[in-house]
Structure 1
Amino acid sequence: HQDDLWLPGRVEAARRWLDGSPEVALHLAPTAIIDRYGHRVGRWNCPLPADKVLGAQFLLERLLVQNFVSVPAPIFRRTAWLVCGGMDEKLWYTADWDIWAKLASTGPVVYHDEVTTAFRVHGSSLTVTGSRDVSEFRSQMQIVMERHLPQLPASSRRLVEPTARASISVNVSLAAASGGDLKALVRAARVVFSLGPGGMRRYLRDSRLWERVICRLRAKLTGAF
């Protein structure tokens, strides 16, 4: 995104990751969250173990619940991009979510616990403006989930699918709430509680809900959203 940032040390980290693991197709990392004026308001992490080589199934079991990958953070090889076919231009909102899943299918993934990028939250971002058409917003997320869910074995799908569908419903409700429909927050809570203890733990782990919400609240409270 044009309003996100590379932080000092980004290029050096990217070179180190690529040179140190030539077999890895996709390198992921956390990112700093900044407000409209560039002040840090949080950190966006991935629910992945650091510095371990991960397979596609491990990543997808978490990624299909919520796109927890910040756009400026990943590094991937050109060969992996060409193999997976690049971005789906029909996905105006979830093309990045889709491409992370496709890249993971081309080779191993490693998560590095280093912050070398910054993701900006503000009221005119695509996340905010794109979510105003609720039906299209939901459809964009469902397309990605349903496209990649069949890659998981049946035993994993039975666990992941209910949480992934609940996460989409929560995202839609949060979008409605940001537009002034505060009753949508009640609907979101009901969806989460309906998952039961195990599903709730999976949802809270993989959705990074608190990280996503709290940083935006901080920015709004200071008038910097």
Structure 2
Amino acid sequence: MHPIPRIGPTEAADRPRWSVIVPVHDCAPFLADALTGVLEQLAEDDCEVVVLDDDSTDDPARVVEQVGRDRVRFVVNPGRLGASATFNRGLELARGDLVHLLHGDDMVLPGFYSTMAAALDSTAALAAICRVEDVDIDSAPLYRTRSYRRGTGVWTDALDALAVSNRVRAPGIVVRRSGYELVGGFRTDLPHAADWDMWTRLAAHGRVAFVDEVLARYRRHPGSDTRARVLTGANVRERVAAIGVLAGYLEPRRRPWVTRRALVYATVFAARTSLSLARSGERRAAGVQLAEAARCLVQVPGGPPRISR
């Protein structure tokens, strides 16, 4: 496994309260919505907003010029770095006490920043997580993430929950910069599970606050890379690889139990995906997911779970 990148400290002088880092790659049509939601909520003297372009073929610079009102800094990567390396570059650029990585095709809802800051202040947590609404390419609602506690407060079993599956949508988490300095950056050897690894690592090192409100939107694309990985089964295989990594963040006595839960969950996830694909007529992809479900099941410690009749 590759080493976890180190995130160095920043100078304390003139540090803003917020750093909003907006990584973009070919999502300029949605960027105006993302930036508008940020700029309407944060005062100019209390934040920095950085759009970090990872070799887009559209024109995010034009959107920044039109919407940014001289409040948004535009930075271009030296060639295509990929998601994880772009996130890490964004963390190095961030000077604020609180860091929000907001993908350029996602958005925040009114009250996001004030509510998340209050949750962090009241709990002394490293990170705060809120509920998120999934939307389609036209912003029509699809799904809302679950409540993991009633009301805002410390998510006491966050580590066990996150080691089983990724319960976090990227736009719905804010992390103290000191938290990133403590745990390091995003792994580049788990390109599609680097965020899951990061949230679990944070939960292993400190408190996580949960905000029981829907305060952000996550956009799903029909032609995304996630879709391509479903067709090959790579989505499930990387999930299984990540489970092995995340187990290392747990106390040794808890690893077998949590790993078992994670692999059972991965089995169910793949089986449900297979069923959904079959219902839509995609029989070949359904077979791929079913095969991955079987591979997950045979890896469950102690053997497959017994099914009560």
TM normalised by structure 2 equals 0.54
Aligned equivalent of 2:213: 114
Cα distance, 1:110 vs structure 2: 1.1
Q: What amino acid is aligned across from residue 225 of structure 2 in structure 1?
A: L
| Change in CA separation of 1:89 and 1:150 when aligned onto 2, cut-off 3 Å | closer
The alignment status of 1:18 with 2:120, answered yes or no, reads yes
Comparing both structures, which one devotes a greater share of its residues to helix? 1
- List runs of 5+ in structure 1 lacking aligned partners: 199-225
Deviation at 1:173, TM superposition (A): 4.5
2:262 maps to 1:164? yes
Residue number among 135, 144, 148 corresponding to 2:242 in the alignment: 144
Letter of the 1:128 counterpart = R
Q: Deviation of residue 76 (structure 1)? A: 0.8
Other-structure match for 1:59: 158
Q: Is the 8 A contact 1:33 1:41 kept in 2?
A: yes
Give the Cα separation in 1 of the matches to 2:237 and 2:288.
18
When Rg is computed on C-alpha atoms for both structures, the one with the higher figure is: 2
Deviations 1:23-80 (A, max 9, x none): 210111111121221111221125345433245xx22221122111111101110010
Cα distance between partner residues in 1 of 2:106 and 2:283? 27
SS of residue paired to 1:12:
helix
Residue of structure 2 equivalent to 1:40: 141
> What letter corresponds to residue 116 of structure 1 in structure 2?
L
Q: Name the CA shift for 1:151/1:11 in 2 (closer, same or farther; >3 Å).
A: closer
Alignment of 1:181-196 (within 5 A): 181=284, 182-183=286-287, 194-196=304-306
Change (3 A) 1:123 1:32: same
The alignment yields a C-alpha RMSD, in angstroms, of: 3.0
Deviations 1:66-102 (A, max 9, x none): 1111111011100101111110122221111011011
- Residue 215 of structure 1 aligns with which residue? none
Unmatched tracts of structure 2, length 5 or more = 1-102
Verify: 1:84 aligned to 2:186, yes or no.
no
Q: Which residue of structure 1 aligns with residue 131 of structure 2?
A: 30
Across the two proteins, how many residue pairs are aligned to each other? 193
From 54, 63, 69, the counterpart of 2:168: 69
- 2:226 equivalent in structure 1: 127
Q: How does 1:190-205 map to 2 (within 5 A)?
A: 194-196=304-306
Contact 1:72 1:118 in 2 (8 A): yes
Tell whether the 8 Å contact from 2:148 to 2:155 is kept in structure 1 after alignment.
no
More strand by share: 2
Task: Kindly state the Cα deviation for residue 175 of structure 1 after the two structures are TM-superposed.
Answer: 5.1
Distance across 1 between alignment mates of 2:131 and 2:139: 17
Residue 106 of structure 2: aligned partner: 4
2 CA distance for matches of 1:125 and 1:45? 24
Q: Which amino acid aligns with 1:34?
A: V
Identify the match of residue 201 of structure 2 among 79, 93, 102: 102
Give the CA deviation at 1:176: 5.3
Q: What does residue 180 of structure 1 align with?
A: 283
Preserved contact between residue 155 and residue 208 of structure 2 (Cα < 8 Å): yes
Asked if the contact 2:204–2:249 (Cα under 8 Å) also holds between the matched residues in 1, the reply is no
Amino acid across the alignment from 1:67: N
Task: Using structure 1 for the length normalisation, give the TM-score.
Answer: 0.72
Are the structure 2 counterparts of residues 172 and 146 from structure 1 closer, same or farther at C-alpha, using a change threshold of 3 Å? Answer: same
